[in-house]
Structure 1
């Protein structure tokens, strides 16, 4: 038979011979239990509350925060690389367009007609041709790079009635305008 220390205690008794709460012990004595404080009393406020934040919750929170930080830094690196890749693709497209323009220009220069046109724009003439230079009133050559204005920016002229032009010719017949000097025939020497 097993020893008495190995025996299970009788019902209502804790191991070590102490009676459980609200029960009578082996000797028939009632256990003494402190009275529960009434709700809202000062004694209830003085008792410390057991925290719901356990060690397992702290470890779980730590693991989740580490994973979040790890994934956030990886996501940031991924997004930075994508934006850098998009920038590089844009630069490649611009450079490819520039290469295409240069290749087109090179094919143009291989055409003899284009070369002749470019030479004429620089005032070169073919053998046997005569070059003419337009002179201004002061005897200086006019610039060849003069440009036309946009027709939209010029104010349109108001049409005049036909009888006003006819009357103007009658007035000029009686008083002809002064003759202007003839245009220069030679280029003045530049000094």
Structure 2
């Protein structure tokens, strides 16, 4: 008996046709998946915008309420109604006290350092004159 070849002509043509179909469907399938992902992202964004819109509408309705307006004026603007005594207690800020204590010594401007070095060279001392501030060369 003669040995049959493993790949016949028909099988080769079938393989080429299947590859051609797969290649022709790859791009449309990829685009379909991309569009589906885009649609789901847009739906999520639409839901977020709708929720924000509802929150703004609720805030708008709330701003028409006179009791809410009075309450907000008292809290945020420290408004006092007629006949009321209002007090505002101020507490010192701790951050300002600490920053005032830990400030480094001021560095003189470059031209002051230059002028001091010129004066020192004129006197022949080699060191800039002390004017109460520490000079730092740049």
Tell me which interval the TM-score lies in, with the shorter structure as reference length. 0.5 to 0.7
Aligned twin of 2:78: 123
**TM-score for the superposition, normalised by structure 1:** 0.42
Aligned twin of 1:67: 21
**Pairing partner for 2:8 from 54, 58, 66:** 54
* SS of corresponding position for 1:106: helix
RMSD between aligned residues: 2.5
**TM-score for the superposition, normalised by structure 2:** 0.56
Which aligned pairs between 1:79-98 and structure 2 lie closer than 5 A?
Answer: 79-98=33-52
Which aligned pairs between 1:28-177 and structure 2 lie closer than 5 A?
Answer: 51-121=5-75, 122-126=77-81, 128-133=82-87, 135=89, 141-142=90-91
Cα distance 1:134–1:76, how it changes in 2: closer, same or farther (>3 A)?
closer
Structure 1 gap segments, 5+ residues each: 1-47, 136-140, 144-191
Distance 1:61 1:130 in 2: 92
More helix by share: 2
Structure 2 gap segments, 5+ residues each: 93-138
Cα distance 1:92–1:63, how it changes in 2: closer, same or farther (>3 A)?
same
Shift of 1:77: 1.6
Shift of 1:134: 5.0
Cα distance 1:115–1:134, how it changes in 2: closer, same or farther (>3 A)?
closer
Shift of 1:142: 4.3
Distance 1:72 1:60 in 2: 18
Shift of 1:74: 2.1
Distance 2:88 2:39 in 1: 57
Cα distance 1:106–1:134, how it changes in 2: closer, same or farther (>3 A)?
closer
For these two proteins, the number of residue pairs brought into alignment is 91
* SS of corresponding position for 1:105: helix
Larger radius of gyration: 1
Alignment check: 8 A CA contact 1:125 1:131 kept: yes
Query: Highest relative contact order (Cα 8 Å, sep 6+), 1 or 2?
Result: 2
Cα distance 1:134–1:110, how it changes in 2: closer, same or farther (>3 A)?
closer
Cα distance 1:76–1:100, how it changes in 2: closer, same or farther (>3 A)?
same
